Amino acid sequence: MKKFSLKLRLMVVLTSFFILIGVLCGTVSWFEAKESTDEFFDTYQMALARNLSSADWGDVNHSVQRHTNLELKNITNADEDDEAIGFAVFNLSGEMVFHDNNNGKNFSFKGYTSAFINENVAGDVWRIMRVKSADKKYIIAIGQELEYRSDVAWDLMEEFMLPWFVGLMILLLFMLLVIEREFRPLKKAAIQIKNRKPEDLSAVDVANFPKEVLPLVDAINELFKKLEQMLQSEKRFVADAAHELRTPLAALKIQLDVLQMCADDTETKLKAIDNLEQGLLRASHLVEQLLTLSKIENSLAESIDNNQQIDWKSITQMLITEYSDIIKQKQLVVDDSNLMQKGPILVGNQALIITVIKNLIENAIKYSPESANIQISSNDGLFIVYNSGIKVKEQYLENLGKRFYRPSGNNEKGSGLGLSIVKLITIYYGCKLNFANKNNGFEVKISKL
């Protein structure tokens, strides 16, 4: 895809706009100046015709003309243009009796026209009008070269447009400089991001950024934040996996060595195989919990389907049925009579809620002694799992829910990730996870904040 420069586009667009405006204004000014010039000089010719028609041309001769020319030459500060005006006086027979001794001598006799006519005079186009004298004995022709009018119109337009043109050029230059200056923060930010090390995901400094660009910079900073969270999550996952898998893998290796050494001892071999199977199950469970934790951490940072209605009663009873064998084996009594459809989370992601309830029920079954009572209840705002016959020392309660934490003296095998998964999800949904020793047992409660 072809790249383009926004700054260059703005400069080109603004320059083109100013040129277009200049051309339009110049064109309009030209037509206005031309119209005003024609109107002025037509009025001037008519005024001159009025004066000339009232003169007495009967006694005029060439000596009068020479005297008039001499008097005009003696005017030292006159700014006369030969093409400004010309006139000639004809008698009714067509004989020229007087002229201005310049352009008028080239005028032709065409009688009375009573209108302005464009004529060719000595190779140039003139605008000429002819009127009768007051005594009706002479025809007076007064004319002006059209090119002179155009020159005057151009001069007027130039004098009018030049200040505006200079002003527009200064304004355009100023705007281009402003554009260049305002784009500097973007250029600096681009250089700052380009020169960063791969591990540097700190926020872009938004100082001196224009307000219109801040949403883009904020989005980039938000992306950096998400990337940093994801990288930290991946680092934690790798570190946790390496740390927690070391022990079960070592145990598996030991059981494998036992199998190799007791090829002829059937009883020892079978026991080693059983231990190996249990070790594989524990390692598989640990990997599953690690993957679940990593998946939840990454999913909660992204958009997930949180529009599902949560039926706490149905989900809990389904999970109780899954653990029915071990419940019978340990002779546990599970009371779910106080379950309601509603719970602390009414609308959310069903898969996440199943993970929460499953971990709590599994822990209650695993850590309850034989013949213990497990009570599970829910209502609008609460979900409680209580198991009798077991308590957690007070100094350990505040650490429950931390990653890989397992109270000392606990003989049950586990990874210490279940409650940390529950805590992560409940916090995401704005709920509180509370652990407490109650009566002769242990209670886990999820409540709305």
What pLDDT is recorded for position 1? 47
| CATH number for domain 6-54+84-170, candidates 3.30.530, 1.20.1050, 3.30.70, 3.30.450 | 3.30.450
Residues paired with 89 in a beta bridge: 98, 140
In this structure, the strands spanning 138-145 and 124-132 are antiparallel
Largest interatomic CA distance in the chain: 161
Between the alpha carbon of residue 309 and those of residues 86, 320, 379, 425, the distances in Å are 101, 20, 15, 16
Residue 123 burial (10 A CB sphere; 0-12, 13-18, 19+): exposed
What pLDDT is recorded for position 249? 66
| Residue pLDDT tens, the chain, 449 long | 455 666 777 778 878 888 888 888 888 888 888 888 888 888 888 888 888 888 888 776 666 666 666 565 565 555 555 557 888 889 888 888 888 777 888 888 888 777 888 989 888 899 999 989 888 889 999 998 988 888 888 888 888 778 877 887 888 788 888 877 777 777 777 777 777 777 677 777 766 666 767 777 778 778 877 777 767 766 665 665 555 566 566 666 776 776 677 766 777 777 767 766 766 766 666 666 666 666 666 655 555 677 889 999 999 999 898 888 889 999 999 999 999 998 999 998 888 888 889 889 988 898 888 999 999 999 988 999 999 988 888 777 776 767 555 554 454 454 556 787 788 888 888 899 888 888 889 899 999 88
For the chain, the structural domain boundaries read 6-54+84-170, 214-299, 304-448
What pLDDT is recorded for position 239? 62
Residue 28 burial (10 A CB sphere; 0-12, 13-18, 19+): exposed
Closest by CA to 428, choosing from 273, 315, 297, 328, is: 297
What pLDDT is recorded for position 69? 60
Asked whether the beta carbons of 313 and 378 are under 8 A apart, the reply is yes
In this structure, the strands spanning 347-348 and 441-448 are unpaired
Write out the E strands in 58-123.
86-91, 96-99, 117-121
Distance CA 119, CA 117 (A): 6
Torsion of CA 196, 198, 199, 201, to 10 degrees: 60
Is residue 436 within a helix (H) or strand (E), and if so which, with residue range?
strand 431-438
Does the predicted model carry a pTM greater than 0.75?
A: no
Strand 124-132: give its sheet, edge to edge.
Answer: 96-99, 86-91, 138-145, 124-132, 117-121
What pLDDT is recorded for position 55? 84
Between the alpha carbon of residue 10 and those of residues 3, 7, 82, 209, 211, the distances in Å are 15, 5, 50, 18, 18
What pLDDT is recorded for position 316? 92
Q: How far is CA 243 from the centre of its chain?
A: 44
Distance CA 214, CA 403 (A): 38
Q: How far is CA 241 from the centre of its chain?
A: 41
Distance CA 201, CA 227 (A): 8
Domain spanning 304-448: CATH 3.30.565.10: yes
Q: Which residues contact 252 (CB under 8 A, 6 or more apart)?
A: 276, 279, 280, 283
Query: Amino acid letter at 365?
Result: I
Distance CA 219, CA 170 (A): 37
Query: Amino acid letter at 434?
Result: N
Residues paired with 134 in a beta bridge: none
Distance CA 320, CA 339 (A): 12
What pLDDT is recorded for position 373? 92
Residue with the two structure tokens 């002779």: 331
Residues paired with 347 in a beta bridge: 309
Class of domain 214-299: mainly alpha
Distance CA 270, CA 249 (A): 19
Measured from the Cβ of residue 368, the count of other Cβ atoms closer than 10 Å reads: 22
